[in-house]
Chain A
Amino acid sequence: MVLAFDEMKAADGTVRPAYGELASWLAGVPPDVLDFRRREAEVLFRRIGITFAVYGEADAQERLIPFDVLPRILSASEWDILRSGLEQRVTAINHYLRDIYSRREILKAGIIPEDLVFRNPVFRPEMNGQKVPYDIYVHIAGIDIVRIDAHTFYVLEDNARTPSGVSYMLENREIMLRLFPELFARHHIAPVENYPDELLAALNSVAPASSSADPTVVLLTPGVYNSAYYEHSFLADKLGVELVEGRDLFVRDELVYMRTTQGSKRVDVIYRRIEDDFLDPLAFRPDSALGVPGLMSAYQAGNVTLANAVGTGIADDKAIYSYMPEIIKFYLGAEPILKNVPTWRCREPEHLSYVVEHVEELVIKEVHGSGGYGMMIGPQADKGTVAAFRAKLKSNPRNFVAQPTLALSTCPTCVDEGVAPRHVDLRPFVLTGRDRIRIVPGGLTRVALTKGSLVVNSSQGGGTKDTWVLDR
């Protein structure tokens, strides 16, 4: 396996410029001070109540995501590349979604196989011909990015449905400001605290034409048992909007209302953190108790804006991912600024035969899996798992894609042995409003805390870091 790119130190041991201050500070700081800050951070997080439920662990309903006190640092020029690449990618995604649910030129041009769209469970026929305000489908996107070397950033995954994690970006920064004021004074770090303002501006800008000048925005959560509930309540608070559950809303005459202590109140924009399937038991899953009966009818009548729109899964599906460079070229006529990870589509016979032969070297992903579930990292899997995946591949190749095992970049991280490099990724959040695209500098850096591990998902024991984008 290739040596991973160390974001702080070059191979010859010299420190890269962005990490200069941090490295010299680290060299002088006694180990017990770091350890003390670590424990302080843990206390702060637990008190503030950041918790993350891990599915499948009965008594772990309120486990903390580990937080690493050492920041991940990006230089201004690195961020410039990322920002323009993210804007480009999300713009293309919105063009693509409008096309898929209207004229379908990209299918007619033969760029994406039709069955990948029409036979995909995340494609929503209800959205055919449906107008959405200002043609924006994905108002909030979380784009997962990994770094391979000094110049190469890959997009690992697009999250165009209900991406989470932004509360950690915001809280991590708050905690760091409390723990390391001296480090902040020694850097010029772009702030992230304006994210909620930017989000609210983006949401307000897409209110339906029929709403008042001061639209009512709400955040729709599945409820306290959802793993991201903390984030939902955190964001609602920062946005200054009501955090509603399905039972707080109702639909009358194709208008959405919420039940308040002063009677019913019209709702214009719903920042929904509920999957399509559960939004409306009349339109989608009839057994959903989380949704609002009739919501789709109000949506289709144009009386309420859903952010994100219904049916955006057809943009971030792993089966579609490999076509993203073509999608960007098709709609924008430009080369993608951010690359895709080379991807073998197992549905194509020549790709499949390569993948079957090289299972041990590749990362195999289920097309519909997420959060690190339903995937196998070849070089780290035991023989039994490899054999099982090979069998699955052969029996249902359409269900899989494969990618090379990437040497994700590493950042210095506090672990039991001291400070050591650990693999990281990055999820910046891209907000699309009527007027413009807004991206707060940075995002959520996730870190695989186990030595050598490449799995950064919090559901699989990964941690997070504060992400610093240097202003200069």
Chain B
Amino acid sequence: MLSRTADNLYWLARYVERAEYLARILEVTQRLTTLPLSYAGSSNEWESALATAGCAHAFSVLYPEASEEAVSDFLCFSSANPSSIRNCFELARSNARAVRTALTVEMWDAINGAWLELKRFGNGPSSREEFLRFLRWVQENSLRFDGSAYRTMLRNDAYWFSRLGVYMERADNTARILDVKYHMLLPAHERVGGPLDYFQWAAILRSVSALTAYHWVYRDSVKPWLIADLLILRDEMPRSLASCYQNLVLYLDHIAHAYGRQGPAQRQARAIRARIENSRMDEIFQTGLHEFISEFITDNNRLGVSISEQYLI
């Protein structure tokens, strides 16, 4: 398979995953900001959304203040933001177009249909209701694309590279949420927050679509240290760092097996997974959640570079 084709497939999957993630964050932020201040706290949630999306700096260059309108526009429709939802769809489609031959008709339909339909939303929705519909629409299209890939692609290197894109992006996204919100996820012996924090915790779970999953896993009310446990260590939680790395190792192994050669990417992925597997939440809290997450983000980026060097260029 051409390196460029693999690269296009990988980024196609990443951009679709990123668009979905941005839509989730915005949906959750909107929900939080509609709560009375006494429930949600006084922090500016829109700033936090920018930080979670990893583009606070780019935003601050262009706008004086993180208002709802400015942040929504920046994250959804702005052409100045290379990672806005619109740009994600644009980039996803141009990657798809470059590898039409490697996609199934269903995948092409999903991404091309979404791209065509995106024009319907013009330069942004006119009301909050429509904005919410837009965010839902983004998530549905991501689901449709992901489902099409899962149900129709041959299980060969094209599929594996596309899955690598999904899990690299997902691991990065989950880690970013944790990075921005780590100060709320305190260990059990620290002061337990009042009802005020509950909504923040719920919001974190919602942004990775894990609120219901949380209850099924822990059968307990929402506790911050359990949220951290769920998002970092739990294999069964599809957006956890553990689960992402289980999949990354799996698909990198498929590739190595098919090509008959292991490389730095395989070794690095296994090392990161081993670190997660051998960690316990209380240890992570002890050495510092923030440090753990920062290190993870650096490692994850480094794996991205290795995958690229080994296969994509």
Whether B109 lies near A261 (C-beta < 8 A) is no
* Beta-carbon contacts under 8 Å, A196-225 to B: 223-224
Contacts of B259 in A (CB 8 A): 261-262
Of B2, B255, B261, which is within 8 A of A248 by CB? B2
Within 8 A of A (CB), among B276-313: 311-313
- Which residues of chain B come closer than 8 Å to A16, judged between CB atoms? none
B100 within 8 A of A: yes
> Which of A170-178, A238-246, A323-331 forms part of the interface with chain B?
A238-246
With A243-B101, A262-B259 in contact, is A46–B116 under 8 Å at CB?
yes
Contact A248 B101 (CB under 8 A): no
Q: Contacts of A243 on B, CB cut-off 8 Å? A: 2, 101
Q: Which parts of A225-240 form the interface with B (CB within 8 Å)?
A: 229-230, 233-234, 236-237
Residues of chain B within 8 A (CB-CB) of A234 are: 100
CA distance A237 to B103 in the complex (A): 10
Q: Which of B6, B101, B112, B113 contacts A261 (CB 8 A)?
A: B6
Chain B, residue nearest A237 (CB): B101
- The answer on a CB contact under 8 Å between A248 and B4 is yes
What is the count of residue pairs linking A and B with beta-carbon distances less than 8 angstroms?
53
Pick the residue among B1, B4, B112 that contacts A247 (CB under 8 A).
Answer: B4
A260 adjacent to chain B (CB < 8 Å): yes
A258 at the interface (CB under 8 A from B): yes
A47's partner among B100, B109, B161, B255 (CB-CB below 8 A) is: B109
Chain A interface size band reads 20 to 34
Instruction: Say how far B94's CB is from chain A's closest CB, in angstroms.
Output: 7
User: Does A259 lie at the interface of the complex (its beta carbon under 8 Å from any beta carbon of B)?
Assistant: yes
State in angstroms the CA–CA spacing of A247 and B3 once bound together: 10
Complex CA distance for A258 and B4, rounded to whole angstroms: 10
Kindly supply a per-residue 1/0 record for chain A positions 242-269, scoring 1 wherever the CB is within 8 Å of any chain B CB and 0 otherwise.
1111011000000000111110000000
B98 at the interface (CB under 8 A from A): yes
Is A20 in the interface zone, CB < 8 Å from B? Answer: no
Q: Say yes or no: A260 contacts B3, CB within 8 Å.
A: yes
In the complex, which residue of chain A has the Cβ closest to the Cβ of B3?
Answer: A259
Report if B97 contacts A (CB, 8 A).
yes
Asked whether any CB of chain B lies closer than 8 Å to the CB of A452, the reply is: no
Chain B binding site: helix, strand, loop or mixed by DSSP? helix
**Contact mask B91-106 → A, CB, 8 Å, 1/0?**
0001001101100000
CA distance A234 to B97 in the complex (A): 11
Chain B interface size, as a band, is 20 to 34
Q: How far, in whole Å, are A245 and B4 apart by their CA atoms in the complex?
A: 9
Q: How far is the CB of A256 from chain B (nearest CB, A)?
A: 14
Q: Is there an interface contact between A224 and B3, defined as CB atoms closer than 8 Å?
A: no
Considering the complex, give the chain B residue whose CB is closest to the CB of A264.
B3
Which residues of the partner chain A approach B94 to less than 8 Å between Cβ atoms? 224
**Known contacts A47-B109, A49-B100, A224-B98; is A260 also within 8 Å of B2 by CB?**
yes
**B79 to A: closest C-beta gap in Å:** 15
A47: chain B residues at CB < 8 Å are: 109, 112-113
Q: Are A244 and B2 in contact (CB under 8 A)?
A: yes
A268 to chain B, nearest CB (A): 16
For B255, what are the chain A residues with a Cβ–Cβ distance below 8 Å?
Answer: 261
Identify which of A229, A230, A236, A261 contacts B3 (C-beta below 8 A). Answer: A261
- B229 CB-CB contact with A under 8 Å: no
Q: Which of B1-41 contact A (CB under 8 A)?
A: 1-6
B167 at the binding interface (Cβ < 8 Å):
no
Measured in the bound complex, the distance between the Cα atoms of B112 and A49 in whole Å is: 8
Q: Cβ of B108 < 8 Å from any Cβ of A?
A: yes
Query: In the complex, A49→B108 CA distance in Å?
Result: 9
Residues on B with C-beta less than 8 A from A247 are 4
Are A237 and B100 touching (Cβ within 8 A)? yes
Find out whether the CB atom of B3 lies under 8 angstroms from the CB atom of A248.
Answer: yes
Q: Which of B3, B108, B113, B311 has the most CB of A within 10 A?
A: B3
- Which residues on the B side are within 8 Å of A260 (C-beta)? 1-3
B residues in contact with A223, CB < 8 Å: 98
Report A306-338 residues with CB < 8 Å from chain B CB: none
Q: List 26 A-B contacts (CB under 8 A).
A: A46-B116, A47-B109, A49-B97, A49-B100, A224-B94, A224-B98, A233-B100, A233-B101, A236-B101, A237-B100, A237-B101, A243-B101, A244-B2, A245-B4, A247-B4, A248-B2, A248-B4, A259-B3, A259-B313, A260-B2, A260-B3, A261-B1, A261-B3, A261-B6, A261-B255, A261-B311
Point out residues on A near B: beta carbons under 8 Å. Answer: 46-47, 49, 223-224, 229-230, 233-234, 236-237, 242-245, 247-248, 258-262
- Starting from the known contacts A237-B100, A243-B2, 11 additional A-B residue pairs (CB-CB under 8 Å) come to A47-B112, A49-B100, A230-B100, A233-B97, A237-B101, A245-B4, A248-B4, A259-B313, A261-B3, A261-B157, A261-B259
